[in-house]
Amino acid sequence: MRSETARTRRGHAGTQTATLARGLGVFSIALGLAELLAPRTLTRSLGMEGQERLVQAYGVREIATGVGLLAARDPTPWVWGRVGGDVLDLATLATGLEGDNPRTPHIGIALAAVAGVTALDLYCAKALSGDGSQPRLPLRDYSSRSGFPRHPDAMRGVARDADIPRDFRTPEALRPWT
Amino acid sequence: MKALVWHGKEDIRCEEVPDPRIEEPRDAIIKVTSCAICGSDLHLYNGFVPFMKSGDIMGHECMGEVVEVGPEAKGKLKVGERVVIPFTIICGECEQCRRGNFSVCETTNRNKDLAAKAFGRTTAGLFGYTHLTGGYPGGQAEYLRVPYADRTHIKVPDGLSDEQVLFLSDILPTGWQAAVQCDIQPTDTVAIWGCGPVGQMAIRSAVLLGARQVIAIDRIPERLDMAKAGGAVTINFEEESVVERIEELTKGKGPEKCIDAVGLEAHATATLDSMYDRVKQAMMLESDRAHVLREMMYLCRPAGTLSIPGVYGGLIDKIPFGAVMNKGLTIRTGQTHVNRWTDDLLRRIEQGQIDPTFVITHRVRLEDGPAMYETFRDKKDACVKVVMTP
């Protein structure tokens, strides 16, 4: 007998977790677009001039992850992908703390923000990973629910007597081709 | 009275609301004895249909007993009669109603201007749906006010149970009209996307109308089992390629007739167009996900027919209209002209040709309705169709 998870239908994350995953997907795309289209603004505000190409590459990564999150039947690997990306972001931001960067306070704020998002990503990834490990329930057997009094083959064409209205009929000119 | 009330996305509550009363001479009030959750209610639940207001009463599949009749409906309805209420409210007098095009009745939508702005022209008033279609309180309640009740009803003969006739309100005539729109010939293959309640009814209708082969496409195993029980060859699109399997089943020619019983929330995954739709819908750049429409247009045999009972609400993108034009496809769609088909379908139920109760998987009290929306939406507990009793 086939079975399914107790909490969720196969292929469906729990409603709140799924909503969070979709929200993270939209956030990913929005952040990715900002990184791709305005890298200089970002590097300037963080005192990390010269890293524009890297920021744009991260933007492409964010957009790809966002699309994956929104499109995938199972968003779990994409959320874990975001966690990995967060670690990369944190490491990159940490390099901005070296030397005499006048924008260190901005780096601190950015690190705190990314750490917050990382926590959210981790929570979502763990919740999604947990969905698949729940005990399974059996599916019901609907294989005898035909709705017909006899085998479908015996019912084929029983309603050919139906008076199909003229405006619902295929145009005569198309009939030989259908 | 108790009713299921919409308060926002994924927020439907069972609440006390004022009892309905006769407001117009053609009105009647019915005491609801059975009602159901429709797949199109889920579009409201999921927040995909605009112009809903907090406090709207849900439901457009219901039936009950007449308890009060307005003065101008008295010749046609009597207190105590059992009636099924079609989801389309009809006047029976306008040009469209006289032609049998009841779902585009020109009279009953009390927000005609709003509908005309959205659709170009008004369509009929509908129970328990968006204010684009009149914003009439629905039938997931203890009582229902039925406007134009002298025409908006189907009388139930003695001897038939609620469950045998309840689906005359929507899903049975909707599946039937989907098949009738195909003008099925004995040589036809009919491919049906979606094995929810309307898809199941469309499968039975296509078999009864004599299709040589019916192909049903879905991803939920128990729904595919139910489709197979009704005489369909099934395709699980998560396990096999729809294109390749249909090519095989139609010897490379495609189905003559295709039915979209899915609508605006197609769940296709891992295809380029579905990713595109998901992203655009999430960014609010597109309202409807049109994967099924694209697949039908691509697969349908030249000079074939696309029948679309699935609900679409607004804008879709990347439609291969070149395929439609060059293959000479006919597109037929629309909300169901319920009363056009119900006399015939009622006769077929009475004769035992079809028993629509096969689709019911959950029976609950009205108070349990809000939770059942989630169960139905997520296909939990093998849910296919929910019937509620107030």
Residue B288, domain extent = 173-333
pLDDT of res. B249? 97
Which among B200, B209, B379 has CB closest to A160?
Answer: B209
CA distance B2 to A159: 40
> Minimal Cα–Cα distance from B68 to chain A, Å?
35
Please tell me chain A's helix, strand, coil percentages from 3-state DSSP, rounded to the nearest 5.
65, 5, 35
Considering only the beta carbons, identify the residue of A15, A25, A162 that sits closest to B374. Answer: A15
pLDDT of residue A15: 60
Q: Are residues B271 and B345 in the same domain?
A: no
The answer to whether residues B18 and B32 belong to one domain is yes
Domain count, chain B: 2
Rounded to whole angstroms, how far apart are CA atoms B229 and A120? 45
Determine the pLDDT at residue A137. 40
> Please, which pLDDT band fits residue B281 given cuts at 50, 70 and 90?
confident
Q: Which pLDDT tens digit goes with each residue over B250-277?
A: 999 999 999 999 987 777 555 677 777 7
A163 within a domain of the structure (yes/no): no
Residues B329, B342 within the same domain: no
Q: Determine, yes or no, domain membership for A177.
A: no
What tens digit of pLDDT does each residue of B216-254 get? Answer: 999 899 999 999 999 999 999 878 889 999 999 999 999
With 70 as the cut, is the pLDDT of residue B319 above it? Answer: yes
Count CB neighbours of A2 within 10 A.
Answer: 12
Residues B275 and B219 in one domain: yes
Q: Which of B333, B353, B369 is the last residue of a domain?
A: B333
Residue A162 lies in a domain: no
In chain A, how many domains are there? 1
Cα of B282 to nearest chain A Cα, Å? 7
pLDDT for B270 equals: 56
Least confident range of B23-32, B40-49, B122-131, B147-156: B40-49
Contact B330 A170 (CB under 8 A): yes
Helix, strand or coil, per DSSP, at residue B213: strand
Indicate if B269 and B151 belong to the same structural domain: no
d(CA B120, CA B112): 10
The percent of residues above 70 in pLDDT, for chain A, comes to: 83
pLDDT digits (tens, 9 = 90+) for B322-358: 999 999 999 999 999 999 999 999 999 999 999 999 9
Q: Do B180 and A178 touch (CB under 8 A)?
A: no
Residues B54 and B75 in one domain: yes
Residue A71, domain member (yes or no): yes
What percent of chain B shows pLDDT beyond 70?
99
B222 and A140 within 8 Å at the Cβ level: the answer is: yes
**Longest distance between any two alpha carbons in chain A, whole Å:** 88
* Residue B367 and residue B272 in one domain: no
Q: Which CATH number goes with the domain that contains B282?
A: 3.40.50.720
Model ipTM value: 0.92
Q: Is residue A153 part of a domain?
A: no
Q: Which segments of chain A have a pLDDT < 50?
A: 1-8, 10-13, 133-138, 178
| B203 and B282 inside one domain | yes
Q: Is residue A42 part of a domain?
A: yes
Distance of CA B287 to the CA centre of its chain: 19
Looking at the fold, whether B319 and B378 belong to one and the same domain comes out as: no
Residue B353 belongs to domain with CATH number: 3.90.180.10
Residues B149 and B204 occupy one common structural domain: no
> Do A177 and B303 meet the contact criterion of CB atoms below 8 Å apart?
yes
Contacts with A161 from chain B: Cβ below 8 Å: none
Average confidence score pLDDT of chain B? 94
- Residues B346 and B369 sit within 8 Å (Cβ to Cβ): no
Show which of B286, B314, B333 is a domain's final residue.
Answer: B333
CB-based contact B302:B327 (threshold 8 Å): yes
Residue B89, beta-bridge partner list: B125
Q: Tokens at residue B46, please?
A: 């999921």
Mutation site, B48, B184, B343, interface A, largest A CB count within 10 A: B184
Instruction: Kindly identify which residue of chain A lies nearest to residue B379, measuring between CA atoms.
Output: A9
Answer yes or no: do B279 and B291 share one domain.
yes
- Give the pLDDT score at A4: 40
Domain extent, residue A64, equals 3-137
Residue B58, pLDDT score = 98
The H-or-E segment that residue B233 falls in is strand B233-236
Percent of chain B clearing pLDDT 90 (strictly above): 86
Same domain, B13 and B103: yes
**Tens digits of per-residue pLDDT, A2-49?**
434 334 454 444 567 777 888 898 899 999 999 999 999 999 998 888
Residue A161 lies in a domain: no
Residue B342 Cα, gap to closest chain A Cα (Å): 12
